[in-house]
Homo-oligomer: A and B are copies of this chain.
Amino acid sequence: MSSFWGNRLKISIFGESHGTAIGVVIDGLPTGFEIDMDEIYREMQRRAPGRSKNATARKEEDIPEILSGYFNGRTTGTPLAAIIRNRDVHSKDYNYLKKVMRPGHADYGGYMHYQGYNDYRGGGHFSGRITAPLVFTGAICKQILEKKEIYIGSHIKSVASIFDKNFEEVKLSRDLFKELSKEEFPLLNKDLKGSIQDAILQIKEERDSLGGIVECAIIGIKAGIGNPFFDSIESILAHLIFSIPAVKGIEFGAGFEITKLKGSQANDEYYYQGNQVKTYTNNNGGIIGGISNGMPIVFRVAIKPTPSISKKQQTIDIQTKKNVELEIKGRHDPIIVLRAVPVIETVSAIGILDLILSQTGV
Contact = CB atoms under 8 A, between A and B. Distances in A.
Interface in A177-194: none
A71 B111 CA distance: 14
A95 to B, nearest CB: 13
A77 B284 contact: no
* Most chain B CB atoms below 10 A, which of A32, A261, A290: A290
Interface string A63-86: 001111101001111111101000
Contacts of A306: 263
Interface stretch (A19-27, A40-48, A168-176): A19-27
Contact of A262 (B208, B213, B264, B285): B208
A54 interface: no
A357 interface: yes
27 contacts: A1-B10, A1-B358, A2-B229, A3-B79, A3-B228, A4-B4, A13-B79, A19-B71, A23-B67, A32-B114, A74-B117, A77-B114, A78-B119, A109-B224, A109-B289, A109-B290, A109-B292, A109-B293, A110-B291, A112-B291, A213-B256, A234-B247, A236-B239, A256-B256, A264-B309, A265-B305, A272-B321
A316 interface: yes
A5 B230 contact: yes
A32 B116 CA distance: 8
Contact of A229 (B3, B8, B291): B3
A296 interface: no
B112 A68 contact: no
Interface in A268-327: 268-272, 275, 277, 279-280, 283-285, 287-293, 300, 302-309, 311, 313-316, 321-323
Given A117-B75, A230-B4, A270 B14 contact: no
A109 B31 CA distance: 14
A190 B288 CA distance: 33
A110 B226 CA distance: 9
A222 to B, nearest CB: 7
Nearest to A261: B305
Contacts of A196: none
B31 A12 contact: no
A219 interface: no
Q: Which 7 A-B pairs have the closest CB atoms?
A: A361-B361, A106-B289, A112-B224, A249-B251, A109-B291, A2-B227, A209-B263
B208 A264 contact: yes
A4 to B, nearest CB: 5
A113 B66 CA distance: 22
Nearest to A130: B229
A220 interface: no
B3 A307 contact: no
A289 B271 CA distance: 44
Interface string A236-273: 10111011010111111111101111111111111110
A155 interface: no
Contact of A226 (B113, B230, B235): B113
Contacts of A229: 2-3, 5, 13, 125, 130, 134, 243
Contact of A259 (B112, B206, B302, B311): B302
A7 interface: yes
